[in-house]
Chain A
Amino acid sequence: MVARIQHNFPGQDFTHMWSNLGHFQDNPMGMHWTGIVFGLGAVQAMGYWTTDFLVVQRVLSAKDIRSAKMAPIIGSFFKMAVPLIVILPGLLALAVLPMHLVPASQLQPGQFSYNEVLPLMLARYCGPGLLGLGITALVAGFMAGMAGNVSAFATVWTYDLYRPFIRKTAPDAHYVSMGRWCTLIGVFISIGTAYLAMGFASIMDYVQALFGFFIAPLFGTVLLGMMWKRVTKAAGFWGLLAGTLTSIGIFSAMKFDHRWVGVFALSPHAQGLAQDMYQSLWSCVTCVVVTLLVTLVTKPRPDAELKGLVYSLTEVAHEERVGILQRPIFWGGVALAALVVLQIIFW
């Protein structure tokens, strides 16, 4: 497969993760290792695992502290397997498909984009029966992802916004009805955002840009707010606002004038995904700096009001004593070892 990819795309390295990240021009993503380590690793990935509602919702609903710790660890194994589903078919397509794939934004009549890899591969290898199964699996995957996000949207709106701030006392039937309407509206919003995604080079580019807007600055706010009891409400608000506006500003500047790519993404050769990584990094840094500065000029809350909110003032529940195979630390170690082995294999 590797030999065929190199034959089809001479001079481009699609099969290594780190060895070609020394310069922006050396890899097809137009990426530098600083973007991966600081933008993706330190901000986007950590932000996803600590602030994404889908992850947090599952951890909060765990039956005990051990289950809560195990939830993201079990998730990490599935996350490490995602490249088998997402990246491997793409690599196989580069090796076997006769047509030359292009980014969706550069699509010309008669050409196919990277986003169409799975349908193209299904049409190439599957006859009528298997094609139906493949399409069913794709649709089921889309539906599962959308159902999780739409239910999270309905929960956040109904429980975290509508109930505490808009209508505090209403019968349960009213909130159930509100949740159902939210689900319906969420589906229509999802369909609308699909048209937004069409303007990006790939769906991954679109998702990472959104992560840069919302998750990257939120990570800075959550981290400081949980770990430092001195942080104030105003500092959290202004830090988050500054981080989000910075992210949107950087994104817009790089889209409208390519000269800004060299400034914010450190090189004019940085492509879409690389731009997203640096956009996340700068937005998180801005959020942290603004939060720190505002904290220093605002009055801290007394400790009594922060119990249960800040790590140092919260009594952390202890795990019950279980065998080594049931301990989160063991499976966390296994996940870490698997991660290191994968990095070495695909260096």
Chain B
Amino acid sequence: MSEKHHIIPVWFFVGVLFSVYGVLIFASGLAEWSHPPNTVLAELHAPVWWGALLIVLGGVYCAAFRPRRQKA
């Protein structure tokens, strides 16, 4: 039985990283929604938008570069 080495693309890990960051930042944005931090333009809730953007980007990378089973 031959054994094949499958290389997982580095972009898949980039997607996972983006997704994890996105979820954390999105959650922090929601948590501080009612009492925003003492920063300039805090009322725009930037963490929510950035978190959502990172989740979408991470999802696209994860889907496009997910490890696939190679056909024999």
| B39 within 8 Å of A (CB atoms) | yes
Q: Does B50 contact A (CB under 8 A)?
A: yes
Task: Give the interface size bracket for A toward B.
Answer: 10 to 19
Would A129 and B39 count as touching, CB distance under 8 A? no
Are A125 and B40 in contact (CB-based, < 8 A)? yes
- B2-28 interface with A by 8 A CB criterion: 21, 24-25, 27-28
Interface of B is mostly: helix
Q: Cβ of A126: which chain B residues have Cβ within 8 Å of it?
A: 39, 46
Are B39 and A125 in contact, CB atoms less than 8 angstroms apart? yes
Closest 3 CB pairs of A and B: A129-B28, A127-B37, A129-B25
Residues of A within 8 A of B (CB): 96, 123-130, 132-133, 136
24 A-B pairs with C-beta separation under 8 A = A96-B40, A124-B39, A125-B39, A125-B46, A126-B39, A126-B46, A127-B28, A127-B32, A127-B37, A127-B39, A127-B46, A127-B47, A128-B28, A128-B32, A129-B24, A129-B25, A129-B27, A129-B29, A129-B47, A129-B51, A130-B46, A132-B24, A133-B50, A136-B21
Q: How far is the CA of A172 from the CA of B27 in the complex (A)?
A: 50
Q: Which chain A residues lie closer than 8 Å to B46 at the CB level?
A: 125-127, 130
Nearest Cβ on chain A to B37's Cβ, whole angstroms: 4
Contact B50 A124 (CB under 8 A): no
Give per-residue flags for B36-72: 1 if the beta carbon is below 8 A from chain A beta carbons, else 0.
Answer: 1101111000110011000000000000000000000
List B contacts of A130 (CB < 8 A): 25, 46-47, 50
- Which residue of the partner chain A has the closest CB to B26? A129
In the assembled complex, which residues on chain B have CB atoms less than 8 Å from the CB atom of A125? 39-41, 46
Interface of A (DSSP majority class): helix
State A126–B36 Cα separation when bound (angstroms): 11
Question: In the assembled complex, which residues on chain B have CB atoms less than 8 Å from the CB atom of A129?
Answer: 24-25, 27-29, 32, 47, 51
In the assembled complex, which residues on chain A have CB atoms less than 8 Å from the CB atom of B41? 125
A133 and B47 alpha carbons, distance in the complex (Å): 10
Bound: A132/B47 CA distance, A: 11
Q: B51: which A residues are within 8 A, CB to CB?
A: 129
Which residues of B lie under 8 Å from residue A96 when comparing CB positions? 40
Task: Among B24, B25, B27, B32, find the residue whose CB has the most chain A CB atoms closer than 10 A.
Answer: B25
Question: Which of B36, B41, B42, B47 has most A Cβ within 10 Å?
Answer: B47
- Per the bound structure, the CA–CA distance linking A129 and B39 in Å amounts to 12
Chain A residues near B40 (CB, 8 Å)?
A: 96, 124-125
